[in-house]
Structures are given as C-alpha cells and as structure tokens.
Structure 1
Amino acid sequence: MDFRQLRYFVAVAEALSFSEAARRLHVSQPPLSVQIKALEEELGSALLERSRHHVALTPAGELFLDKARAALANLDQAREVVRQVASGEAGEIRVGFTASVPMQDIFPRAVHAFREAHRNAKLELVHMSTGQQLQQLEHGEIDIAFLRPSPQFRPPASIAVREVLADRLVAVLPVAHPLAASQHDIDINALSGERFLLFPRGLGCGLFDHATTLCNRAGFAPNVAQEAREATTIIGLVASGAGISVLPQIYARTGIPGVAYLPIAGPDAASRILMAHRAEALSPIMKRFVGYF
C-alpha cells in the first residue's frame, strides 16, 4: 500500500466514477483500476462495488475512506512542515544571552519582529553567563549566543562571532561619593583606593575580567570587597555605601536611586556584545534570526 493508491481510492470514492476520477487525477483509467484492485487485494476486502454504469462504496470502503483521507491529510501536513523548515519559516532555535542584552533596544525589538514573522518557529531564550554560553555552543546545546566577553577574548576556530552592540563601562558610585558630581569621564586610577563590588570570577562573566584588566593596566589590583551574582544587587549595595563598581552603562536604565554613573576614560573601557554561533553552516531558521541583528 502506498500514498498513490490512497489518493486514487479517495478520488474514485468521491467521484463514484472511475472515468471522472481518472480525469481529475490526470491519469488514464486502466492504471487507476489496476491500483484500486491491488489495494483491495492487499487489504483482503472489496472497497468498491462496480457495475457497468455504477460505482458505490462497500461498508469496508466507507470506513476506509475516512482513514485514507486522514492519512493523506497527515502526509500533506508533514510535507508542509518540511517545506517550512527547509525555507526557514519554521524550526527550533535556542538562544543564550547575558543579563544586560535584553536591556539593549535592538534585542527585544528584533526578537519580537522575528516571532511575529515566524509564528511556526519555536524560539527559546536562555539567560546564562558568557562562559556558560560558550560551553553550550561548543556542545551544541544552544544555537546562538549573545556574549559580553573580556577584552582578551579570542573565539576558538569552532565559533564564529560578530559584534552587534557597543557599550562602555562606567564607574558606579554612591551619590555621596566625592567624584559623583563630576562632569567629566573618570580615570580608573581615581578608584585605586576604593572597595570594589564585582561579579564572581567563577560565574564566567566577562565583566569581572574586564574590570580587573582596566585596573591592572592602570597599575593597581582592585580591592574586591564583595561579590554578587546580579547587577541590580551590586547597584543596590553601591547605593548602600558598601563600595563602588564597574558595570556597563546600560545598567543606568535600572533607575535604582542613590547611585551615580560616570563614564570611564580611555579606549579600554569600551565594551562590546558579540553574537556567536558554531562556525559550521547556519540552518535556514538561524539565518533568518541573525538577519534581524
């Protein structure tokens, strides 16, 4: 039994005429009759009653017609799914991102536009650190990553990257700090005697390495008084007077009171967000997604 036989049978059952079914199917009548007969022999039951001027469904044929229609409908749906996946209209994609990425205007706008244009696609967004994303990319557990790496980051040959967003690091100070009212970019040297509040290095976050690199290039090692896993926690601790921090400028959007954000002077304070994926060819749905950035 094959799908061609099912189509032939449904055509004859709906037309109740071999000649009309052959016309609709654009085939000659003898091969059509042969295929229906072969189907009946395989099933071991007559599906049609035939006379010179009359064709009718047998009881078995009436029951089989419903099943044949359902099978053909499932086949058509399967073909459409395959077509959509091949064209990039449908499929699954898993995207990792660091905490600050959704705060950038382009990210929510691009994700929303992609979802609106690809209603049959499954897009899963996963929050994780830069280090975690790189590991999962290597293992094929995510498809696209949005990283904020340290300045020393060099992607392995297996990973392709492209810069999609630029940002700067700022000093986050309590509003009562003597430097908080400055109208100029702050030199990182001015923070050498401060207590730093940073992300844990083991978190795999590029911001720890970036902040310590800035300090080291200025000739001092930061006094890390406390670590916290969330930027909003760090900002709240700064507001409480527990110390100062170095974070991307985008975090000024959190609106937490009691803190001031001063841009850090020099090119080394430039921060970037990279979109990364495995260097092998992108799937059709991945090509469509990255096109929004």
Structure 2
Amino acid sequence: MTRQNATPRFSYKGSRLKPLRAFCQVARLGSISRAAEALYLSQPAVTLQIQALERELGVPLLERSGRRLTPTREGELLYEMARPLVEALDSLHTRFREQLRGLDAGELNVAAGSSTILYLLPEIVEKFRRQHPEVRLTLHNVTGASGLDLLRNDAVDLAVGSMLEVPADLVYSPAYRFEPMLITPPDHPLAHKPDLALEDLSPYGLILPPKRLTTYRLIDLVFQQNRVPYTVTLEVGGWEIIKQYVAMGLGISIVTAICLTDADRQRLAARSLARWFPSRSYGVVVRRGKVLSPQARAFIGLIQPQALAPRGYDESGHSER
C-alpha cells in the first residue's frame, strides 16, 4: 500500500485530538506563541504537534504571511473539517453541564453598540429577563473592532448590531432593516418641501457622527457619487445628542430610523431618504463554528426577523412603527 492511500497514523504521543487542536488554534490565532498560551503548552510542544500532523498528512498546513501564520490551501481544508470536531469535543463538558442545569442557568454575554442597546434591545432584554430570570445577562457596550475582538476571544457569546462587511470567521444574520432619515426642526424649509431632492440639502449644515464612523463615511460616499456638495456644521457622537441639537435649530442631520422614537415626532420632522441612501440592517453576529449555549439560543430566538422590511417614517413624517 502506498503512503498516499494509507490511513494516517497520528503518532505524536498517541493522540489525534492534540495535534488537531494545536493546528486549529494556530490557524485561528496566527501564531505558535499565542496558540501555546491558549492551550497552556510550551511553544516547542505546539510546534512538534503541527510537524507531526504535517508529516502524517504529507502536506504543509501552515505558511508565513508577514508576521502571521496562515493556513495553506490544504490547511484551509483541514481547518474547515477539524474545527467543528475540536470545538464540539472541547465544549462537551460545558454543554453537558448546561443541559443538566437547564435553560435558566448560567450567564449570557452580549456585545452591542450604544444605539442597539438604547433603541433595539430594551424589549428583547425585557422578554428575556422575564422568561429566564436566573440567567445573569451582561450587555457589553462596544462597537467596531472591539466588539469583534470580544467575539473572537469568546469573551461574549454573541453580538447584536449592524455590519456592512462580514469577516470570514464570523456569521451575520440580519433581522431588521431601518431606513435613512432626514431630520429637521418642524418649521424647517425642508420639513414639508414636496419632491425632496438630494440637492435640496446642500444649503443647510449637517450635524453628523465623527468621520471615523461608518455612518459619516456612507453619507459622504453618497454625496460624492451624486456630485452634490454638502457642509458639515458639527461632528458629535450619539444619536440622542444629534437629535437634540437638530431640535435646537443648530443644523439638520441624516440618521438611521432605529433611533427615532414616537417622542421625537413632537420635536422633529423626519423624512425618508431611502431614494439616495441605503438602509441599514441590524442582526446577530456569532463566531463561525461556535457552539451556542441554551441561553444564547434563547436570546437569539427573541430577535424575530421582520422580513427585512424598512422601518421608519413616511413622507408625511408619521411613524410607521
């Protein structure tokens, strides 16, 4: 029998799981040293396990890309096959104990940005607390890369928010979609102007989130693509602050309908800008291949998809929610 057709024998200390676990950690973390820390092993031990795996399979599994180790083509294939097995075995004890304790046990960590926590999650959190009062729920107020780092390091079970670009190691399941809205004081010239055009916004100063945030970049992109000039009067973080300043007459703004409440109708005029700006989806983000706890699945189950129907205000400024 040739080596190519022979069944591999993983001889390194007589275990197939150890080399596969070491390989999956290196592929995920991009470093022998970081994998060794995660596995509580020495770096030479991890190196020997990777070498044993490559020797038995007869192909290189990792290659250096800059300062990181990344899987080869063969390594990518093995990673996709081995990761669910390794994670399932590693989480077997935890899953077993969770099933024994039942659904109303343990803790749940959820990452979300301020807007999501303030506008989207209150009803969901209320239902979850009512149904599962013994679960300790922690909401981590983080955005962007910070939230993704928590997901990748398993510091949180899931994240809820909006994503435009989804990395390969994460899974994003959108559940809601919100329209882009122009907000002005009720007596503003644009509040009731018929046939509102993007050019109509040019004479008025915009109040926008900071440039580093996605909302600002999307607004800038749309104006640039349509070759419409615009002016930013003020950059400030937080939808509540932006709405307050618009209500005071300090400028107009373009916000996502998620932040508009029934109370805002008393002090603001809101009109859909869906003709020019894309809607924003909000949903659940988890690490690809992660085994979710019963309480995480219960929380996700409360985030009911709304068929991605836009939610906001109609052209007359009345709430559609």
TM band (smaller chain) = 0.5 to 0.7
Does 2:316 align with 1:286? no
Partner of 1:174: 185
Specify the alignment match of 2:260 in structure 1: 252
Matched, 1:200 2:210: yes
**Amino acid in structure 2 at the alignment position of 1:178:** P
> 233, 240, 248: which one pairs with 1:225?
233
Structure 1 residues 94-142: Cα deviation after superposition (integer angstroms, max 9, x where no partner): 112233334556x333322222232332110122334432333233332
Amino acid in structure 1 at the alignment position of 2:228: F
Q: What fraction of aligned residue pairs are identical, expressed as a percent?
A: 21
Displacement of 1:175 in angstroms is 2.4
SS in structure 1 opposite 2:139?
A: strand
Alignment of 1:115-130 (within 5 A): 115-130=129-144
Contact persistence 1:94–1:126 (CA under 8 A): yes
- In the alignment, is the contact (CA less than 8 A) between 2:198 and 2:228 conserved in 1? no
1:154 aligns with 2:168: no
Contact 2:179 2:274 in 1 (8 A): no
Pairing 1:3-22 to 2, within 5 Å after superposition: none
Q: How do 1:40-79 residues align onto structure 2 when only pairs under 5 Å count?
A: none
Aligned partner of 1:266 in structure 2 is 275
- Identify the residue that residue 93 of structure 1 maps to in structure 2: 108
Are the aligned partners of 2:181 and 2:256 in contact in 1 as well (CA < 8 Å)? yes
Aligned residue number for residue 149 of structure 2: 135
Amino acid at match of 1:154: E
Q: Is 1:215 matched with 2:240? A: no
Distance 1:222 1:104, change over 3 A: same
Change (3 A) 1:175 1:116: closer
Tell whether the 8 Å contact from 2:183 to 2:252 is kept in structure 1 after alignment: yes
Q: How many pairs does the alignment contain?
A: 207
Deviation at 1:183, TM superposition (A): 5.8
Shift of 1:146: 1.6
Q: Give the CA deviation at 1:199.
A: 0.9
Q: 1:131 to 1:213 in 2, by over 3 A?
A: farther
- TM-fit CA distance, 1:88: 4.1
How far is 1:266 from its partner?
A: 1.7
SS of corresponding position for 1:176: coil
Cα distance in 1 for residues equivalent to 2:197 and 2:173: 29
| Cα offsets for 1:59-101 (capped at 9, x unmatched) | xxxxxxxxxxxxxxxxxxxx9x935567544222211223333
Offset of residue 261 of structure 1: 0.8
Answer yes or no: is 1:82 the counterpart of 2:97: yes
- Provide the secondary structure at the position in 2 that maps to 1:261: strand
**CA distance, structure 2, for counterparts of residue 141 and residue 288 of structure 1:** 18
- Structure 2: which 5+ residue stretches go unaligned? 1-93, 304-321
TM-fit CA distance, 1:230: 1.6
Change (3 A) 1:158 1:179: same
Aligned residue for 2:260, secondary structure, equals: helix
Cα distance between partner residues in 2 of 1:85 and 1:245: 52
Paired residue for 1:165, among 176, 187, 192? 176
TM-score by length of 1: 0.61
The gaps in structure 1 that reach 5 residues or longer are 1-78
SS in 2 for 1:280: coil
The alignment partner of 1:166 has SS state of strand
Change (3 A) 1:219 1:162: same
Structure 2 counterpart of 1:211, one-letter code: I
Q: Quick one: which of 250, 270, 278 aligns to 1:242?
A: 250
RMSD: 2.8
Q: In structure 2, what residue type is equivalent to 1:137?
A: L
Larger Rg: 1
